[in-house]
Chain A
Amino acid sequence: MTVRRAIPLLFALLVAGCGRDPAMDKMVAEKKLKPQEYAVLPDSEKVRYKDIILRVPAQWGGAILPFDKGPYESPIDKTVHSGDLQTMVGLYNQSLFELQHPRVKVEYINFDMWTDNFRSALAVALSAKKAPAYYIARDLPQTIEQGIYADITELMKTWDQFSQQPEGSIRQGTVDGHIYTIAANELGATVIRYRKDWFREAGIFNERGEPGPRSDWTWDDYRAYAKKLTDVAKNRHGGAADDAGSMHYVEANGLDLYIPDSTGQNDWRFNDKDPRILESLQAVRELVNSDKSITYSTTMGWYERHNEFDSGRVGMISSFSPHIARESLTSPTKMGNNIPYRDTVGMAPLPRGKNGYNPLQPITNPIGFDPTLSPEQLKAALDWVTSWFYGDSFLNRMRNAVLEAKLKGQQSEVYAEYLILPYKPKENLLDKPLEEVFPKDYIATYKAIREAHSPPLPRQYGLQEPPPAEFSKAVHALYAEAITSQIDLKALLAKHANLINTNLFRFGGKADSDKMRRYIKDRTEFYQKYQPEFYAKDWKQRLTTYYRIPD
């Protein structure tokens, strides 16, 4: 062989030798190293050992370095010198987690899950296998049916804090006995956010003698208070409503907007049978148009409603309890320099019905996991999430938050994080009890939230449910039309019931009466146990009317 001929061969051998040997890689990966064994590996081996990629959404569970280095030498320099402690702690947590999980490499990705186009962005990301490992689980159970979340039933069996999750949260993410979601960091409920100073002016006080509604107030009280707080000349209204419309009447009375289809053709039909649905439409129309105690606009959504409240034009709105707790610490002067937030903004449970129904239901922000993850990735993702929301990462963040707040002379958010946490953190970092930080109404409402129970959901029994976003939109349209038009309410109800039955309750296939029976039986037992007054006054009656199951 001439030298000239041998050169390409030698070159080829050299290239092949420099390449990664997959068998070797596998061997390295299969040898499960302990953190201390991993720590002594040379850098080149460390890199090769990391074969479980965990994509973490930077905005929810991560910390991303600034994109721009600005006048500094590098983004990390900027982070250090500009006092961006949150990013530094985020990176520290990442490093700590990777040391605890030597095979895992955490990659932060930019994935905004709080915008309206989140659903379509997620669908594309999942199809392209570029989705984050976990994300907020919206539109349950439709998104579970779409296959958007991994089945985590088996993983849940080995998880020590499984039982800490609120019952309602577990029910939300369970379909036909399989679990698809876990609770994130916010335990809360839909509550009434109210102006304490307005209530004081109106002479309305709760059982503790503070301005505000009693914890067992009813929908009739709500209507009376809304009227009392209204002063049209001053552009003040008792409440603000977006399309949600039902103005708490339906929630207060525990009315079911859909009931079993007596024909047996579908699982459900819209509840145009219960005369109280008609009453609720009438009530809503009166609140807005006759009482004029509720300001209404089609364009009003969640943010607009809160803007109305923050701008001092509205005395009561429905809100999410964790937001109030957080705001009281982060924006203490939001309502004005001279009026501390905690003395101005109150929190009360939703009003009850005359039938003894208590609508308070604990909820959390659920998390779902990418279904295309390998079992190792899924386990790593769960470890990351639990560490972030109540484990080591959580504690590090909280410690930093306390220190940072002290340095900046601010109130620490940590108290709010502890107040709303669904889990038991590994360590209590609070230097004073929550009762000293939050007003009594917040503490009392949170106590009630923690003690409340959520009824079973059809999805747990394998029964189909209408798409939540679309169903809620359809119901909003019904109430909006009741408010903005003068149409006869019976005709209006019939028109919308037909529309909803045609579009949202035809799942294809016959209803499964066995599943329906089990669901109603469990729901009955639930009310007997947790809401006996409602059971005796109302639910028993429903069992003989529109909750009777076809054979």
Chain B
Amino acid sequence: MATPKPSKSQGIRYKTLMAWLFTLPGFIAQLVFGWMPVLFSFVVAFQKYYFIKEPEFVGAQNFKDVAIDPLVITAFQNTLYFATLSICLTFALPILVSILLMEMSRRTIRAMMILWFIPVASTAGIAIWKYMYHPNLGLMNGIMRLLHLPELKWLDDPNLAMFSLILPGLILFGPGLIYIAALQGVPEELYEAAEMEGASMARKIWFVTLPRLRPIIAMMLLFSIIGSMQVFELPFIMTGGGPGYATTTVVMYIYSLAFGAYNLGKATALAIVLFGVIMAMVFVQRRYFPENIDETQSRA
């Protein structure tokens, strides 16, 4: 007896079922490990939370505590300062370097990419930089002495500490690699056409390279904003937030509220405030810096 052929609708239903079944483990993982903590944090923010004892509902008290805490303002100022410096130096500079690098031979590009990539080992790198900044024994002041320049206090100077934190990011963060990869995908014909039109190098960069890099730049800018607003390990390892509170960032303060002061409610409330601030920044970025160059042009 011949097996009855499944109907078209049965086939679709089977496919849908299979699709759901295959997606389910990932979906559950996302729900449990991704969304549940987020939702749970909204509950904890309204509680006095104990590790063992039953939590107590405290209404908006944790948010009130955040609002009157002078250290929250300091932490946000430091974080914004870090984000601005970080975006200017570690986000913008590699674009320029990548574009200039593309003018070199393929062999040079490859060698530079390797050199760029090898030190991207952030935690180990950060720990080494901490010692490089040592006022008496560190490499940085050794270089200053060699150049007959006045020695600096680096991490011990409240005015210089934040800049000193950003500096390793120039080497340890490798967005340049991503730009180079993207630049290699820009069609040669576009440059040839521009050259035929008599465009200078600056004009080629402005009218060909940058517009083609725009989707990547938009995405990297987004990551950069989110990443630098959540900076933690750099100041945590290198300065512990000091000197004074000169390098205490919001996430560091959240950590210290949660696991230093055992005030999980206030820590979570502050995390929610930070979440709101980042979301607002992302909204502005998405609104005024869309990825799609053609969409922008057609709008214009």
Contact A298 B240 (CB under 8 A): yes
- A251 in the interface (beta carbon within 8 A): no
Contacts of B133 in A (CB 8 A): 299
Contact B260 A147 (CB under 8 A): no
- B169 in the interface (beta carbon within 8 A): no
Report the Cα distance A126→B50, complex, angstroms: 12
A-B contacts counted at CB < 8 A amount to 102
Decide if the interface of chain B is mainly helix, strand, loop or mixed. loop
- A473 in the interface (beta carbon within 8 A): yes
Contact B70 A481 (CB under 8 A): no
Contacts of B292 in A (CB 8 A): none
Partner of A298, one of B52, B69, B239: B239
- B262 in the interface (beta carbon within 8 A): yes
Contact A299 B134 (CB under 8 A): yes
Partner of A243, one of B69, B153, B240: B240
Contacts of B70 in A (CB 8 A): 498-499, 502-503
- Please, how many residues of chain B have a CB less than 8 angstroms from a CB on the other chain? 35
Contact A299 B238 (CB under 8 A): yes
- B161 in the interface (beta carbon within 8 A): yes
B142 → chain A closest CB, angstroms:
13
Contacts A146-B52, A298-B161 given; indicate if A235 touches B136 (C-beta within 8 A): yes
- B227 in the interface (beta carbon within 8 A): no
Residue of B nearest to A119 (CB): B259
Decide if the interface of chain A is mainly helix, strand, loop or mixed. helix
Partner of B239, one of A145, A299, A470: A299
Contacts of B161 in A (CB 8 A): 298
Residue of B nearest to A506 (CB): B65
- A295 in the interface (beta carbon within 8 A): yes
Contacts of B52 in A (CB 8 A): 126-127, 146-148, 371-372
Most chain B CB within 10 A, of A143, A481, A503, A506, is at: A503
Contact B136 A142 (CB under 8 A): no
Contacts of B53 in A (CB 8 A): 146-147
B20 → chain A closest CB, angstroms:
31
- B33 in the interface (beta carbon within 8 A): no
Contacts of A485 in B (CB 8 A): 158, 243-244
- A477 in the interface (beta carbon within 8 A): yes
Contacts of B260 in A (CB 8 A): 139, 467, 469-470, 473
Partner of A127, one of B51, B158, B244, B262: B51
Q: Enumerate B151-199 residues with CB–CB distance to A below 8 Å.
A: 153, 155-158, 161
Report the Cα distance A127→B53, complex, angstroms: 10
Residue of A nearest to B259 (CB): A119
Contacts of B134 in A (CB 8 A): 297, 299
Contacts A148-B51, A483-B243 given; indicate if A120 touches B259 (C-beta within 8 A): yes
Contact B262 A480 (CB under 8 A): no
- A123 in the interface (beta carbon within 8 A): yes
Contacts A146-B51, A235-B136, A473-B260 given; indicate if A480 touches B68 (C-beta within 8 A): no
Contact A484 B130 (CB under 8 A): no
| 29 contacts across the A-B interface (CB closer than 8 A) | A122-B51, A126-B52, A145-B262, A146-B50, A147-B50, A235-B136, A243-B240, A295-B136, A297-B134, A298-B156, A298-B240, A298-B242, A299-B133, A299-B155, A299-B156, A371-B52, A467-B261, A467-B263, A469-B261, A470-B256, A470-B261, A481-B243, A484-B156, A484-B157, A484-B244, A485-B243, A485-B244, A499-B71, A503-B69
Contacts from A to B (Cβ < 8 Å): 117, 119-120, 122-123, 126-127, 139, 142-143, 145-148, 235, 243, 295-299, 301, 313, 371-372, 467, 469-470, 473, 476-478, 480-481, 483-485, 498-499, 502-504, 506
Contacts from B to A (Cβ < 8 Å): 50-53, 65, 68-71, 130, 133-136, 153, 155-158, 161, 238-245, 256, 258-263
